[in-house]
């Protein structure tokens, strides 16, 4: 899935401007481990996304470290964990066991 911009946006610098007309997500990183919270009683999440304009190679990283990142992680973590466990199991990357 790509985001087709209504109007191209120029990015880059004055010498090498790039006209971006569409973007796609090429990387997503979720970290919702309480270890990373300064206050262990208040969980924190980090959501990082990298967008790419494939024609030029321009990449735009976006990082959330606010309450919206934690809310998003809480919404997707169960389905994401299930999908990861299923992949690891199907690819025989885990010893035999029972999921609880």
User: What local confidence, expressed as pLDDT, does residue 38 receive?
Assistant: 65
pLDDT band at 100 (very low <50, low <70, confident <90, very high): confident
Domain boundaries, the chain: 2-90
User: What local confidence, expressed as pLDDT, does residue 42 receive?
Assistant: 72
pLDDT band at 66 (very low <50, low <70, confident <90, very high): confident
The sheet with strand 17-31 has its strands ordered as 2-12, 17-31, 46-53, 58-64
Encode pLDDT of 10-29 as tens digits: 998 899 899 999 999 999 99
Q: pTM of the entire structure?
A: 0.78
Tokens 């997503």: give the residue: 28
User: What local confidence, expressed as pLDDT, does residue 35 receive?
Assistant: 63
């Amino acid at each position: 899935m790509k985001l087709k911009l209504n109007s191209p946006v120029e990015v880059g610098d004055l010498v090498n401007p790039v006209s971006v007309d569409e973007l796609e997500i090429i990387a997503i990183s979720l970290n919702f481990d309480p270890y990373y919270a300064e206050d262990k009683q208040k969980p924190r999440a980090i959501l990082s996304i990298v967008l790419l304009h494939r024609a030029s190679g321009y990449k735009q990283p976006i990082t959330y470290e606010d309450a919206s990142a934690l809310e998003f992680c809480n919404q997707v973590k169960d389905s994401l964990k299930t999908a990861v466990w299923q992949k690891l199991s199907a690819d025989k990357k885990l010893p035999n066991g029972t999921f609880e």
